[in-house]
């Protein structure tokens, strides 16, 4: 929410602010309730969520989101958002059909593979293409670090935790 608040505050057009405002609403409603239902379905209690420490990639991604937000730079925030949201769209759009029977998986895919979300990712990419060239070094730095952190995050999911 901090990163989304920063992009909303730093967007340089009214139209972009409206688009981000709608996205903030979706993330704080449908997407948030999805995660609460998923935790419940998986038996992950609120106490466990509060007690379990973040894995290093998670801590790193949270840190880069805060760092980008603190720059108050629309270009920096977009660089991080594009990596995360485009990756989710890419994965969800490659999911096999029909959707999995597991509702946790099926709903995640549906949240990230639909015309509205696809349009939002297209918007993010277009905005970064529009403002990024004037801040190329900054964008390149945040984008590359976000890619490394996302890769580390998902690779960590495959580490044997036994």
CATH number at 128 reads 1.20.910.10
Tokens for 99, please give them: 């959707």
For residue 162, being part of any structural domain is answered with no
For residue 122, being part of any structural domain is answered with yes
Q: Are 17 and 11 in contact (CB under 8 A)?
A: yes
pTM for the model: 0.91
Residue 162 has pLDDT above 60, yes or no: no
Instruction: Tell me which DSSP letter residue 126 carries.
Output: H
How many domains does the chain contain in total? 1
Taking only the tens place, the pLDDT of each residue in 30-54 is: 888 999 999 999 999 999 999 999 9
Residue 92 has pLDDT above 60, yes or no: yes
For residue 161, being part of any structural domain is answered with no
For residue 16, being part of any structural domain is answered with yes
pLDDT of residue 30: 85
Question: In terms of residue numbers, what domain contains 121?
Answer: 2-156
For residue 41, being part of any structural domain is answered with yes
Q: What percent of the chain has pLDDT over 90?
A: 90
For residue 62, being part of any structural domain is answered with yes
């Amino acid at each position: 929410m901090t990163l989304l608040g920063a992009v909303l505050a730093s967007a340089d057009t009214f139209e972009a602010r409206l688009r981000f405002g709608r996205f903030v609403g979706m993330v704080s409603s449908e997407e948030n309730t999805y995660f609460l239902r998923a935790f419940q379905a998986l038996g992950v209690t609120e106490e466990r969520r509060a007690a379990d420490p973040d894995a290093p990639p998670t801590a790193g991604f949270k840190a880069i989101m805060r760092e980008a937000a603190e720059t108050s730079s629309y270009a920096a925030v977009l660089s991080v958002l594009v990596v995360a949201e485009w990756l989710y769209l890419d994965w969800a759009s490659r999911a096999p059909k029909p959707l999995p029977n597991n509702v946790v998986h099926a709903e995640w895919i549906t949240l990230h593979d639909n015309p509205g979300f696809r349009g939002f990712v297209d918007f993010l990419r277009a905005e970064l293409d529009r403002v990024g060239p004037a801040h190329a070094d900054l964008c390149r730095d945040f984008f590359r670090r976000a890619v490394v952190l996302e890769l580390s995050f998902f690779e960590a999911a495959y580490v044997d935790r036994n």
